[in-house]
Structure 1
Amino acid sequence: MKKHSRMHLAIITVLANLLAVNLWAAPEVLWKHDFGAAKPGPLFAGGDIADDTLAAGGKSLQLAFAKAGALPAIFSAKDIPLAGTGVIRVRVRGKDLNDVANGLRLTVTLHNQTTGRRYLADGMVYAVRANEKAYRVLPIYFEVGDTPAPYTLTILPTWQAQTGDRKPSVWIAGIELEGHGKNAPYISGLLRSRTNYAPGAQVKIAVTVVNPTQDAFEGKLQADDLVGLEGRRKVANVSASLAPGERRVYDLAWKAAGAESGHEVEFSLQNKDGKLVARDSMDVGITNDGRLLAFPAHDFEQSWRPSGGGLLYVYPASHTQSKKAVEMGVRDRDNHNGRMEFFGWSWCDLAGFIPPEDPYVAANGQWWLSLKEYKEQIAMVKDSGVHVESYILGCATDEAGYELYQKHPDWFMYGRDGEIGSYNMEAHARYSRRHEFEFAPVKDGTLWASLDPTHPGVRSHISNQCIRLGKEMGFNGARWDIWMMNVAPGQYRLDGSEIAPTWEEADRLSAESLKAVKDAVAKELPDFTWGYNYGAPEENKNTPLFLAEKCRGHAWILDEVAITYGAKTSPFHFWNAYSKRFIEWGDRIRQLDGIYDPWIFDRGFNAGNPNHVEVDWLHATIFRILAGGRVWIPLYKNNSALAGDLPRMAFRFSDTFSGWNLRLQPEDQKRVVVDAPPTLWWKGYVFTNKSPEGKEQAIVHLVNSPVSEEVSGNRDSKVRPPVLNVTVRCNAVGGRLPQKAWLVMAEPLTPEAEPAVQAVPLKLTKQGSAVRVTVPSVLYLKTVVFEY
């Protein structure tokens, strides 16, 4: 056989091999392969079959790095019967890999041979999971259509660019594909009607059940609602009857109840004897305000998946594209994004959001938009359970601004030179010709000016404009940028008088003016929400009253200054200062009634930026979550790196990480004590809390600290080994000892386990006037919750 044609031209092609398993609902191995029968030698450039005493079959496929990019497909198999979820388990080991970045990507493609649709899933081989001395399973989870069909499997390896002169190798000993077989009925699909439901609303989830056996099935389908650390209640129970080979959809519905938080709905299929046959689950949010459950994910493992922060961003997408994005958001089990904003749609911002004509020129003359279509898109996104807000630039702009100035020049603020801002008469003249054939939209605003928030007419005008946002456009709320009813020394009225000569007066007038607008809007729209930029401590030194008013009413507070903290000129580019700054300020915003949104370096990860290091996004996500953050810029997720689904953890246990009753304790507090090396950070991460049931809690977050003291200092994305057997003690309060304790995590419970979002009960051991628990290991982040 020619060298290049070994193993069928470098693609291992086999037919699906069904292995009988005499257990109801046990996952079945539907296909597997190893290299035991292969002849040693080159397979393709960068891939060799090698003798390998560590491999079960005695041989493995060695993939050696030569350059970044894709290699030939290493596996292919046809006619695999699949439906719903499954997992591909790849046995790997590696040498000279980075810990959690720049690894080998394995891209799985599952091609439905009936419909032609393709489904993708990725796994990454990193050193944190794969060493040279032993094989470890890399699970690659997938979900295909809910109707059984034959699939073609291919696996494509791709080397990421390496740091320095590193030249890693990866060995693959074999692969197994587990899925639903033909031995028992199973749940092949879950589809919720919304991502979030208001308390009292009907939760609706369609459950698809398949009976692949040759016998009729009689049993029941049950749904249980899981919330918090141990909450569980049965919410639905229906009879399930399927003929041999039948696929049936059951529409389950129940009234949303329980704590306003992230919930997990567990579905169980039982036979007539009550024996469990199949199980699956899906998350839903129970809340009146989707902003409280805004935890979008940036999946560093899955190259094909869009970042959750932009999943439902509608403009400039077409209506069809928006509809597809909404459908994906509802269907996607990993979508935990409860909030979005509409940018760039406004006609003239505060001078007049809604145009008098349709279509109209929007956003400083940048583009034509359809008002009718835009309203439809807003309604469509709201119907999916997402809280929809309008972006407010915060100025009177363009044509409506000109008209407002002509009528009310005394409504505007002026500089010492008598100017109101910026204006462009050529753009003004061009806009008047917008209906002529030659007109082309250009980003060239005709006017930009700030209004005087202390003027009663201005307050009334802006209040009415915001009321129109809710009543006519359908927005749930608005977020201000640039200007938000604030004044500062050095701003003047038309008559030349200074509005606020001192910062104390400016603070008082700003808070008073904003309150006037919020109160006026609340009379017409009691549930209308607010959000604001300029939410960093550096930006609020002189305006404590204004900050408090901005936070009032669960306002979204955006901390954008944090994008600069990766620079070495920032005092917060040291991780200990970074974590302290975020956690303390997040607690301050929470106590002022605000929803904290801490931003990330440079507004997001860019693989092409030489200063961006993947592990920094992992550490930053941990501290953004511990700060109580609900976010716009997505949070790090990566099962291959053993970090797990951190955004889902923040969603599922939202009361533990972002609840309103959390209170940060002083760094020298004495209630909780951790016995651990200094590299395990916990001081300054202790909170008290009250559970939704009113029980007192003490919470400590355990963080295995970054290897480098500085952001961007860990070019190889190294991580510390897990800290084992950590003892945590919690003292009595008022003579009362904690009665329960849980370990909350997204990472593995123990070093050899796989990541899982879970709360595991811990055994309490009394030790004098305290109790103690033992945490098996901390790789990145684990949280201990004591309950009195």
Structure 2
Amino acid sequence: MLALLLLAGGAASAVEPGLAGHWSFDEFNAIHALDGSGAGHHAGLFGAPQMTAGRVGQGLIFGPNDFMDVPNNAEMNSTEQLSVEFWIRPGPEPKPFPLFSKGSMTKAWDLYFDPPAGMNLRLGGSAPQYDHVIRGVLTTGQWTHVAWVFDSTQAKQSLKVYINGEMKQTWDCPGKLLTNRKPLVFGRGGALDEVRMYNVALTADVVRQHFAQPEKLLGREVVVLRVRPVKLWNKPAEKVRLETAVESLAASAKECKVRMFLEYGVDRKIPLQETAITLAPGEVKEFTIEWPAGELRWGFDFVTEVCDASGKLLDRKSDTFFVTRNPYQVGQKSGTAMWGWDEAATQRAREHAVFVRRNYLPLTELMGVNPDNFGKCVPDTDKWYAGQGSAAYANSREGVAALVDACHALGIAIVPYSMSYTSGYYGTKIATEHPDWMAYLANGRFTSGLETRILELMGAFYRHYPQSLEDKALLEAIRKPDAGAGLSIATVNLANKEAMRFHAEQVLAGMKFFKWDGLRWDGHPQVGGPGDPVAMGIPPMFDFDGKPIVPDMAERDRMSAENTRMLKELILKELPDVVFGYNWGLEYAKHGKQRPLDYAECCKDGGMILWESVNRIHAPTSPWHRWKDVADTIADEVEYPKQNGGTLNVGWFPWWLAKDVYAHHLLSVILAARAHLSGAPEFGLSPWFRLAARYSELLYDPAMNRSPEWKQRISVQPAVWWEKYVYERKTAQGVDVLVHLVNPPATEFVVIDGIQEPTIKRDLQVTMKLPAGPPKAVWLISPDLDPQARKLDCSAQGQNLTVVVPELKYWDLLVFQF
């Protein structure tokens, strides 16, 4: 496995044999604790652990809800040998807690702190004994060095625990460990420093050396302590604030040079600052830069390098940020992971924002927030309930404000989900006061199936919700099958201009009140009628008198486009930077093509078009149940919004069900098609999301188009998927030809669990018949490389150019620069 580096690259300490991860916390940026092993297994932050003076440099103090997690990887799934080493300073912990876990004892192993001064390593596998307890070896408030070493090749004393360099206890544990796809998680109490994990069994001499001389383990005299763009998403008019720091680990004063610069595109650089400094032992030097982006856009790496006086590179680290007006056009999205946000969730606001930030997702979304999506987007009270589907979600001004502020502090756009439907108590009130604003079925019922009496009952229901209901007849009426879709009330007569103006003003007021960065409309303001597909959620609509609202499809298209345009113009007049997304994906494609005017208005200026059926592709009844159908359909469907100036988002990804192989395959075909993914990230996909952020220009530039001409000039051996993924874009420097390579899944049909990893394709030969001279350069971009872009040999023989891709596991991108 090649290293997958998120934040670090270049110089690193010499890797010890079997070292799978080393988290010193000396290189900590409040998003990640960097892995000093060189393997790139950075630990992501959950909660708010506090910095403290460590046994060496800096350590972290963990509360009960604070922990770090390291995505699953092969190096941490050894079955025969395992060593876990760390310094711990316990606090007054009242209860046992999992200090370390790789799944659990039934899945692999976990290590519990056993108050007041003990530990319990629980092993899963063929060993008959689960619990391995040692007591009285830790002291509250004092640093202690601990090493647990497991070696299944030893018949006796296969498990050992060392305390401050001395072996304290052994156990006979025949058998091997289990493996799983769970992350390595550590923290949840006390203070930790110099955490190490090995897939070999450390010897007693090595453990004693690590205890006696911990300060020599890093092997570097000066390190880049952190590198941090303050905001992930930056608007073009803003100055990008960049922070970095270097630290001396030397025993004497050290002269060095610090270089800070930006990288963008494939090989372009922008120098920022170069400074010669002298650092005293243990000294930390911090730097802050404010960079005006000007006309530049897309993804950037902020890089800090430190060299010694002779020019030798000592350390190099980087992190990624965006500059764009529209966060829908770059990177991937954290989809509807949140439903309701009250004061009880306030403490989770920063945790969620950090989770989104560390996965390089520029936008997140809050559902179930408006008191009524149509007519009440600003709450009257500090607390309220919002309806969505068949449920209601608690919200508070304090809770929503905390979430919005936490996202904005880290440069994450946050948008609400909204609909042009009435719902809840306020929707009931509007529907009863303005029956001419509502749409009806042919039988006179509301389009959601609600009769007037049910509306009245729902109004009473909402006045009492969520308290217990004493009126059983009321509760039974609400639960009637024809009472509609849960808390949804009725569809609005979207041809009524007075109603639409009222709706637009309410949406604008809500965006200003909550400081939203945009809006996603589900059931956006389309005028419905006979012939409309039910998939749009708009059955045939009639007015109060039982007449079709707008019989003619073309007229409905024109009126729908007017609605969309009016809403956007009213909002943009006061909030010119907000962005818009719409539910109008593949399952609605026929409807979109029936309404070209409205579809074009939705796509205009980078409007996001959401195809949300991907969470059903694993179902045997899905028309996209074969992987090849999924890949081809996404690739073709991207073209429709792109022709109209929009972007395609694919969601909702079933992260709660999926396995990592499935996730990597699906993301491969999404990236190759130049689509975006909506969903909550898991399975170690952060390197992929960072790549999509850093190289977003090469994935999503609107100037890039499919090129049948270049496709005819290319051949690839052995066979992989590439024919639909050949693009051309013209730049100020010339022409880029981009070829995506996708390794087909091992199974024909889409399955979530049990899918095997694909056979790695080695030494792929990509041959191009040149139109004239050879390219200036050929670049390979891959999430499995360190760094993620590598220049390839591009020597041509006559008119034919052949480049060799050493390995293809899931997805790679070739960039030919002419």
1:689, CA displacement in angstroms?
Answer: 1.8
Q: Which moved more, 1:151-160 or 1:717-726?
A: 151-160
Letter in 2 for 1:262: G
Query: d(CA) in 1 for partners of 2:525 and 2:100?
Result: 44
The answer (yes or no) to whether the contact 2:606–2:645 under 8 Å persists in 1 is yes
1:375, CA displacement in angstroms?
Answer: 3.0
Q: 1:323 to 1:439 in 2, by over 3 A?
A: farther
Q: What does residue 291 of structure 1 align with?
A: 328
Q: What does residue 544 of structure 1 align with?
A: 596
Letter in 2 for 1:426: L
3-state DSSP of counterpart to 1:318: helix
**1:637-678 deviation per Cα after TM superposition (whole angstroms, max 9, x unaligned):** 549xxxx92222222111222221221234x8655312413x
Q: 1:342 to 1:439 in 2, by over 3 A?
A: farther
Q: 1:206 to 1:120 in 2, by over 3 A?
A: farther
Q: What does residue 655 of structure 2 align with?
A: 604
Which of 379, 387, 394 in structure 2 is aligned with 1:355?
Answer: 379
Q: What does residue 371 of structure 1 align with?
A: 397
Segments of structure 2 that go 5 or more residues without pairing to the other structure are 1-9, 29-33, 40-72, 109-142, 151-175, 182-197, 480-485, 531-539
Is residue 711 of structure 1 aligned with residue 738 of structure 2?
no
Letter in 1 for 2:382: D
Is residue 206 of structure 1 aligned with residue 243 of structure 2?
yes
Using structure 1 for the length normalisation, give the TM-score: 0.73
Is residue 576 of structure 1 aligned with residue 615 of structure 2?
no
1:392, CA displacement in angstroms?
Answer: 0.4
Q: What does residue 724 of structure 1 align with?
A: 763
Is residue 511 of structure 1 aligned with residue 552 of structure 2?
no
1:459, CA displacement in angstroms?
Answer: 2.1
Is residue 186 of structure 1 aligned with residue 237 of structure 2?
no
Q: What does residue 423 of structure 2 align with?
A: 397
1:522, CA displacement in angstroms?
Answer: 2.2
Is residue 413 of structure 1 aligned with residue 439 of structure 2?
yes
Is residue 652 of structure 1 aligned with residue 704 of structure 2?
no
Query: d(CA) in 2 for partners of 1:101 and 1:543?
Result: 53
Q: 1:437 to 1:709 in 2, by over 3 A?
A: closer
Equivalent runs, 1:151-170 vs 2, <5 Å: 152=146, 159-160=178-179
Q: What does residue 674 of structure 2 align with?
A: 628
Letter in 1 for 2:35: G
1:554, CA displacement in angstroms?
Answer: 1.3
Q: 1:593 to 1:405 in 2, by over 3 A?
A: same
Q: What does residue 112 of structure 2 align with?
A: none
Q: 1:80 to 1:718 in 2, by over 3 A?
A: closer
Query: d(CA) in 2 for partners of 1:33 and 1:555?
Result: 49
The answer (yes or no) to whether the contact 1:27–1:180 under 8 Å persists in 2 is no
Query: d(CA) in 2 for partners of 1:781 and 1:674?
Result: 17
Q: 1:740 to 1:89 in 2, by over 3 A?
A: closer
Q: What does residue 256 of structure 2 align with?
A: 219
1:634, CA displacement in angstroms?
Answer: 4.3
1:454, CA displacement in angstroms?
Answer: 1.8
Q: Which moved more, 1:530-539 or 1:173-182?
A: 173-182
Equivalent runs, 1:72-471 vs 2, <5 Å: 85-88=34-37, 111-114=86-89, 152=146, 159-160=178-179, 172=200, 181=218, 183-257=220-294, 259-295=296-332, 315=341, 318-327=345-354, 329=356, 332=358, 335-363=359-387, 366-420=392-446, 421=448, 422=450, 423-433=454-464, 448-471=489-512
Q: What does residue 478 of structure 1 align with?
A: 519
Query: d(CA) in 1 for partners of 2:778 and 2:601?
Result: 37
Q: What does residue 781 of structure 1 align with?
A: 811
The answer (yes or no) to whether the contact 1:111–1:119 under 8 Å persists in 2 is no
- Give aligned pairs, total: 650
3-state DSSP of counterpart to 2:256: strand
Is residue 687 of structure 1 aligned with residue 727 of structure 2?
yes
Query: d(CA) in 2 for partners of 1:512 and 1:215?
Result: 71
Is residue 520 of structure 1 aligned with residue 570 of structure 2?
yes
Query: d(CA) in 2 for partners of 1:377 and 1:707?
Result: 41
3-state DSSP of counterpart to 1:355: coil
Segments of structure 1 that go 5 or more residues without pairing to the other structure are 1-24, 35-74, 91-98, 127-148, 163-169, 297-307, 607-611, 748-754
Query: d(CA) in 1 for partners of 2:325 and 2:271?
Result: 22
The answer (yes or no) to whether the contact 1:32–1:174 under 8 Å persists in 2 is no
Q: 1:280 to 1:721 in 2, by over 3 A?
A: closer
1:174, CA displacement in angstroms?
Answer: 6.7
3-state DSSP of counterpart to 2:793: coil
Q: What does residue 763 of structure 1 align with?
A: 793
**1:383-407 deviation per Cα after TM superposition (whole angstroms, max 9, x unaligned):** 3211111110331122322332344
1:359, CA displacement in angstroms?
Answer: 2.6
1:89, CA displacement in angstroms?
Answer: 8.2
Superposed CA RMSD? 4.2
Letter in 1 for 2:459: H
1:242, CA displacement in angstroms?
Answer: 2.0
1:621, CA displacement in angstroms?
Answer: 1.0
Letter in 2 for 1:384: L
The answer (yes or no) to whether the contact 2:413–2:517 under 8 Å persists in 1 is yes
1:589, CA displacement in angstroms?
Answer: 1.9
Is residue 595 of structure 1 aligned with residue 665 of structure 2?
no
Q: 1:776 to 1:27 in 2, by over 3 A?
A: closer
1:721, CA displacement in angstroms?
Answer: 3.3
Q: What does residue 618 of structure 2 align with?
A: 566
Using structure 2 for the length normalisation, give the TM-score: 0.70
Q: Which moved more, 1:237-246 or 1:153-162?
A: 153-162
Query: d(CA) in 2 for partners of 1:499 and 1:276?
Result: 71
Q: 1:467 to 1:262 in 2, by over 3 A?
A: same
Q: 1:537 to 1:370 in 2, by over 3 A?
A: closer
Letter in 2 for 1:705: P
Q: Which moved more, 1:470-479 or 1:152-161?
A: 152-161
Query: d(CA) in 1 for partners of 2:809 and 2:180?
Result: 25
Q: 1:576 to 1:31 in 2, by over 3 A?
A: closer
3-state DSSP of counterpart to 2:598: helix
Query: d(CA) in 2 for partners of 1:545 and 1:397?
Result: 28
**1:455-497 deviation per Cα after TM superposition (whole angstroms, max 9, x unaligned):** 2112211211121122222111111124533413231122333
Query: d(CA) in 2 for partners of 1:180 and 1:204?
Result: 33
3-state DSSP of counterpart to 1:681: coil
3-state DSSP of counterpart to 1:571: coil
Query: d(CA) in 1 for partners of 2:200 and 2:669?
Result: 35
The answer (yes or no) to whether the contact 2:337–2:680 under 8 Å persists in 1 is no
Q: How many percent of aligned residue pairs carry the same amino acid?
A: 20
Q: 1:183 to 1:569 in 2, by over 3 A?
A: closer
**1:721-750 deviation per Cα after TM superposition (whole angstroms, max 9, x unaligned):** 323141321532xx5653332111112xxx
1:596, CA displacement in angstroms?
Answer: 1.3
Query: d(CA) in 2 for partners of 1:505 and 1:291?
Result: 30
Letter in 2 for 1:346: N
Query: d(CA) in 1 for partners of 2:521 and 2:502?
Result: 16
**1:563-596 deviation per Cα after TM superposition (whole angstroms, max 9, x unaligned):** 2222222332222221110011113222222221
**1:357-378 deviation per Cα after TM superposition (whole angstroms, max 9, x unaligned):** 2233333783543224423432
Letter in 2 for 1:86: D
The answer (yes or no) to whether the contact 1:540–1:547 under 8 Å persists in 2 is no
Q: 1:538 to 1:200 in 2, by over 3 A?
A: closer
